[in-house]
A and B are shown apart, each in its own frame.
Chain A
Amino acid sequence: DAKTTQPTSMDCAEGRAANLPCNHSTISGNEYVYWYRQIHSQGPQYIIHGLKNNETNEMASLIITEDRKSSTLILPHATLRDTAVYYCIVRPRNRDDKIIFGKGTRLHILP
Chain B
Amino acid sequence: NAGVTQTPKFRVLKTGQSMTLLCAQDMNHEYMYWYRQDPGMGLRLIHYSVGEGTTAKGEVPDGYNVSRLKKQNFLLGLESAAPSQTSVYFCASSYASLLGDTQYFGPGTRLTVL
Using a CB–CB distance below 8 Å, which chain A residues touch chain B?
Answer: 2, 32, 34, 36, 41-46, 49, 51, 85, 87, 91, 93, 95-96, 98-104
Q: Which of B89-114 contact A (CB under 8 A)?
A: 90, 92, 94, 96, 98, 100-108
Let me know if A99 and B42 touch, CB within 8 A: no
Tell me the minimal C-beta distance from B95 to chain A in angstroms.
Answer: 10
Let me know if B100 and A46 touch, CB within 8 A: no
The residues of B that contact A96 with a CB separation of less than 8 Å are 50, 56
* Complex Cα spacing A43 to B107, Å: 5
The residues of B that contact A95 with a CB separation of less than 8 Å are 31, 50, 94, 96, 101
With A43-B105, A43-B106, A43-B108: A93-B100 Cβ-Cβ less than 8 Å: yes
The residues of A that contact B4 with a CB separation of less than 8 Å are 43
* Complex Cα spacing A104 to B35, Å: 15
Tell me the minimal C-beta distance from B50 to chain A in angstroms.
Answer: 6
The residues of A that contact B92 with a CB separation of less than 8 Å are 43-44
Chain B: which residue is nearest A96 at the CB level?
Answer: B50
The residues of B that contact A93 with a CB separation of less than 8 Å are 98, 100
* Complex Cα spacing A99 to B59, Å: 9
Q: Does B45 contact A (CB under 8 A)?
A: yes
The listed residue with most B CB atoms (<10 A of its CB), out of A32, A43, A85, A103, is A43
The residues of B that contact A32 with a CB separation of less than 8 Å are 100
The residues of A that contact B94 with a CB separation of less than 8 Å are 95
Q: Does B41 contact A (CB under 8 A)?
A: yes
* Complex Cα spacing A96 to B44, Å: 16
Of A34, A43, A44, A100, which is within 8 A of B100 by CB?
A: A34
